[in-house]
Amino acid sequence: MGVFDADSFAGHEEIVFGADPVSGLRTIIAIHSTALGPALGGTRFFPYDTEDDALDDVLRLARAMTLKSAVAGLDLGGGKAVIIGDSRTDKSERLWRAYGRIIDSLQGRYITAEDVGTNHFDMEVIRRETRWVLGVPEPEGGSGDPSPATARGLINAMRAVAEHLWGGGDLAGRRVAVQGVGKVGSNLVRRLVDVGCEVVIADVYAPAAELLVDELGVKQVGVDEVLEVDCDILAPCSLGGALNAATVPRLACRAIVGSANNQLAADEDAAAIATRGILYAPDFVVNAGGLINVYEELRGYEVERARHAIDKVFANTKRVLETAQRTGVTPQQAAVDVAQDRIRKIGNLRLFRRSGDDRN
């Protein structure tokens, strides 16, 4: 498949393919939009089956970052990067520094951070070659692991959903099923337990789930069962595509609020979920806490200011749900409309050039 023939290519500004034969680096960086600012998005390190799979994934993820930044009200565009390989065995200083040089060649059009398969220590090595990286360890002046921030944003989104559905934002006594208890999912589970929720969890890596069962007393079910758990809120916190033609008919939740990117396998899945009477809070709205957190590094990171900004996920989620109700569209479409409206209204300001390093 040619790059320009990919359905997901539409609307993208730039794609960069980079390689370093010495370290084995193979990377694709997709810049979807710089209308509102530089394209910020994490680096995903994943063993894709084919290069076509990697390309399709990075294009879809980059577009979602444009929407995420716009709905969150940030002066950022959308981009993403993928590295093809096994994050457990293929990382090296040489690879990260070669990757950092590729990022630096873009002169700030793309800013990276961590994602699946990468962490804030990897970002520290990348920073040796470029300043266009966020989410470095706190001792280095960064914000560190963004997972707690993403989980904080999800709790705010769940409160907005609870208020919309049940007239109050208190989550105590609600039953929540969490699919995937990695860095974000485990943080979310702890926060849910703290606010008095009954929590059911599942993960393909059983020891991760068992650790939380022992520590918190939550209930564990199989990965094939979690979507069918009778619950108030389902939280998909694993990889994307969990909501599709095969799984939507099995859902037994009242609402969906999760951290995974691109939870809908296809656009039509949003309508199928709505037809079942389930409220889907769009992933790129509710999982913006991590993005908001690293964005704060661009103006000098301060914990309290970052937390205040993350808590705005509540208002952003509420606005999308109210827009959907008022206009008679799905929350997914409402969120896209809100994002595109901001890009139309604010994006053309980028035509007025600034001095210094800001050439976007």
Catalytic residues: 80
Evaluate whether 72 touches 291 at the Cβ level (below 8 Å).
yes
Q: Which residues pair with residue 40 across a beta bridge?
A: 78, 111
Residues 69 and 186: their CA atoms lie apart, in Å, by: 24
At CA 238, angle to CA 236 and CA 239, rounded to 5? 110
Task: Quickly list DSSP for 48-82.
Answer: -SSHHHHHHHHHHHHHHHHHHHHHTT-S-EEEEEE
Which string of b and e fits 121-138 if b means at least 16 CB within 10 Å? ebbbbbbebbebbbbbbe
Question: What DSSP letter does each residue of 192-256 carry, written as one string?
Answer: HHHTT-EEEEE-SSHHHHHHHHHHH--EE--TTTGGG--EEEEEE-SSS--BSTTTGGG--EEEE
Phi, psi of 156 (to 5 degrees): -60, -40
